[in-house]
Amino acid sequence: RDLRMSRGLGDVYKRQVIPVVLFHVFPELITGGYVGVDIFFVISGYLISLIILKNFNSNTFSFVDFYVRRIRRIFPTLTTVLVFSLVFGWFALLPDEYAQLGKHVAGSSVFISNFVLLSESGYFDSASISKPLLHLWSLAVEEQFYIVWPLLLVFFRKFINPIFIALALLMLTFAANIHFIDQNQSLTFYSPVMRFWEILCGSCLAWCQVNKQYITAKFHGKVPGIVSLFITSDGRSPYRHLISIAGLCLIAIAMYRYTEALAFPGWYAVAPVIGAVMLILAGPHAFVNKFILSRKLVIWFGLISYPLYLWHWPLLSFAHIMDSGYPSYKVRSVIVVLSIFMAWFSYRYIEKNLRSGGYRVGKTLSLIAVMVLIGATGMYINLHNGIENRFSANSSKFNDEKYVQNAIATASERCVSKFSDWSKFTDKGNSCLMQKPMGQNEIALVGDSHARHLFIGMSELYSARGVSVFPASCAAPFINVSSSTQDKHAGNMRKDAYKLINEAYDYIAHNPRITDVILAHNPSCSASDAIDIENPSNKNNQDVLDSGLRRTLDVLVKAHKRITIVFDNPGLMFDPKVCVVRPLRISSTGGGRCTYDRSTYDQSFAHQSYKNVVKKVLKDYPGVMVVDLSDKFCNASQCTLARDGHLLYQDMSHLTPYGSRYVAPFILK
């Protein structure tokens, strides 16, 4: 009876997928709807642990039976969504997008998509909404828990009570979550080690439910009634209505007050997790659970909650990709309706048929075989660059991309082998580059990724002289200046990036072969976030950049280098792929927005303030040359994304290889 009641209670709470869907599709309506995932973690830990612990107590637990049930529960709709994504992606995605999708399909097929996404996080990471399978990270975390949790219980059950295992892991993983949230938010968000505490909250509740008679007998009369509710809840406590309302309030506060700007999970995850715990404790007879969450329509959404979660994000993501921008309100509304239909169809005709009925072994083996085939297909697509020959007319472009990748890989290997620190203090997308072996290059570029994206054009144009690039993530190209350290996603990595810039200048100053030094930088990284390592108390950002630039020029002038400072190319306010003629588009006007108003650039605080600092300093250094790339992208009224049918931008700030080649002839005078 308890198990049936708990399963019914679980069906009530599965409705928490609705806030997640609303947050993804209409983020302006429910800014913290993402906490629905955290609530689901608690519910999942409660329901699945309840089954495991009951089976342990009756000595009927079987690993085979447990995982067969998980496969028949998870695989039917998941394989359907993965196949749909691969088929639709074939027609809708460009090669680089399809290659990334293939990698995510492969990761999802073995439930490691959270680690795949974590490996991609960083300055060059594409927008979340451009990843159709991004949402499967939570499913991966959940399945990773259910691989570890039964094994721990089996191994330790003869030596220690499961509740102590759960509590110990809960405290350790919660502490890890708190410790790392300010150091690496991406790691904290995706890592199972930082998320298991949420699932374990539900597992602890399950243990109390399974052992409530033992707990009641042991602590009878020793604790107040309201405290006993938290360890022996039977759903009929006089406090149940108050507890359920309090739990709902905590969840509501999180959903409507939280935003994506918060350092989540961290301490912020405590409110929705405790709210979910309180709703479960209150039981199915509590006011909120009985009169709000048990309405027929809400119950129906609970039945399709899992397929609804799987379907809604790929549909939204594909719509965004096809139009290179966030879909209109009308399109998003259609996506909601389509997601609900696909969820109902999947539940009614796929999930129910494969979860129940006969041929249990055959269905399970077939699901495993299909998942293996899907994963292998995804890997093949990724390894073959998104099956680039789907668009044979662009074969020359694809061949050039291979050449560029090989050139950068060779230059990176050559440089990092000599400067090992580059793998410690910046991300993999900002490794240093050497066209020729160390000591043989005459031109050096120093800065951030906006120095690095000039490498292809400069190295081809000056191949006889040789080009080196010394970039660090969002680093200002100045000695002893640290920049962009407040970025919640990468600040911890960038705090020591200035050490790489210092090391580069030390090498350049003592290398007589290097005659030309080029300083290139995305000013958005330092416009309001720069620290003078030699004078940390200086809070005037303009003064920090002024002092850093003077220190740098003094070193280079003393070393008799010719110096060029590059004013950066204009940044975009939209995805440059709006200029690309895509295989599929939703709107009829897509594929032609290749210019924008120059005033957007002229009004940029970051670009203009950086120019002002440099121009002020260069009054004292008349020999330093300046190149303004905006003159090559803009006329008096318009700026362009493309030249001669070629896209100049690969994202909203970085140049394509063609863009790099386009600007290279203008940099050295």
Largest CA distance in the chain: 88
Highest-scoring range by mean pLDDT, 18-32, 54-68, 558-572: 558-572
Q: What is the pLDDT of residues 33-52, one digit of tens each?
A: 889 899 999 999 999 999 99
pLDDT value at residue 220 = 59
Q: What is the pLDDT of residues 133-169, one digit of tens each?
A: 999 999 999 999 999 999 998 888 778 888 899 999 9
Average pLDDT along the chain:
86
Cα(186)–Cα(119) distance, integer angstroms: 10
264-284 mean pLDDT: 90
**Is the distance from CB of 482 to CB of 531 less than 8 angstroms?**
yes
Q: What is the pLDDT of residues 601-633, one digit of tens each?
A: 999 999 999 999 999 999 999 999 999 999 999
Question: Burial of 599 by CB count in 10 Å (0-12 exposed, 13-18 middle, 19+ buried)?
Answer: exposed
Short-list 310, 258, 313, 277, CA closest to 22: 313
Find how far residue 620's CA is from the centre of its chain: 45
**CA 134, 139, 144, 148: dihedral to nearest 10 degrees?**
160
pLDDT value at residue 13 = 45
pLDDT value at residue 592 = 61
pLDDT value at residue 587 = 65
Q: What is the pLDDT of residues 650-664, one digit of tens each?
A: 988 999 999 999 999
Say what percent of the chain tops pLDDT 90.
Answer: 53
Highest-scoring range by mean pLDDT, 205-214, 285-294, 536-545: 536-545
What's the pLDDT band for 229 if we cut at 50, 70, 90? low
Q: What is the pLDDT of residues 506-546, one digit of tens each?
A: 999 999 999 999 999 999 999 888 999 999 999 899 999 99
What's the pLDDT band for 441 if we cut at 50, 70, 90? very high
Cα(227)–Cα(230) distance, integer angstroms: 6
What's the pLDDT band for 368 if we cut at 50, 70, 90? very high
Cα(251)–Cα(9) distance, integer angstroms: 17
Say what percent of the chain tops pLDDT 70.
Answer: 89
pLDDT value at residue 103 = 96
Cα(369)–Cα(486) distance, integer angstroms: 47
Cα(514)–Cα(536) distance, integer angstroms: 32
Q: What is the pLDDT of residues 163-175, one digit of tens each?
A: 899 999 999 999 9
What's the pLDDT band for 202 if we cut at 50, 70, 90? very high
What's the pLDDT band for 219 if we cut at 50, 70, 90? low
Name the helix (H) or strand (E) containing 599.
helix 599-602
Q: What is the pLDDT of residues 574-592, one digit of tens each?
A: 888 888 777 777 765 555 6
Q: In what order do the strands lie in the sheet with 516-520?
A: 433-434, 467-471, 443-447, 516-520, 562-567, 625-628
**Angle formed at CA 628 by CA 627 and CA 632, multiple of 5 degrees:** 115
Short-list 240, 253, 249, CA closest to 280: 240
pLDDT tops 60 at residue 236: no
pLDDT value at residue 7 = 45
pLDDT tops 90 at residue 20: no
The pTM of the full predicted model, rounded to 2 decimals, is 0.82
**CA 435, 450, 120, 81: dihedral to nearest 10 degrees?**
-110
What's the pLDDT band for 200 if we cut at 50, 70, 90? very high
pLDDT value at residue 85 = 97
Q: What is the pLDDT of residues 466-512, one digit of tens each?
A: 999 999 988 999 999 998 877 766 656 778 889 999 999 999 999 99
Q: Would you say how long the chain is, in residues?
A: 669
What's the pLDDT band for 1 if we cut at 50, 70, 90? very low
**Is the distance from CB of 313 to CB of 36 less than 8 angstroms?**
no
Start-end of H helices in 269-389: 270-282, 287, 296-303, 305-323, 329-345, 352-355, 360-383
pLDDT value at residue 4 = 44
Helix (H, G, I), strand (E, B) or coil at 518: strand
What's the pLDDT band for 116 if we cut at 50, 70, 90? very high
Classify residue 654 by its DSSP letter.
P
For residue 32 the two structure tokens come to: 């913290």
Q: Packing angle between helix 657-667 and helix 395-416, nearest 10 degrees?
A: 60
pLDDT value at residue 492 = 65
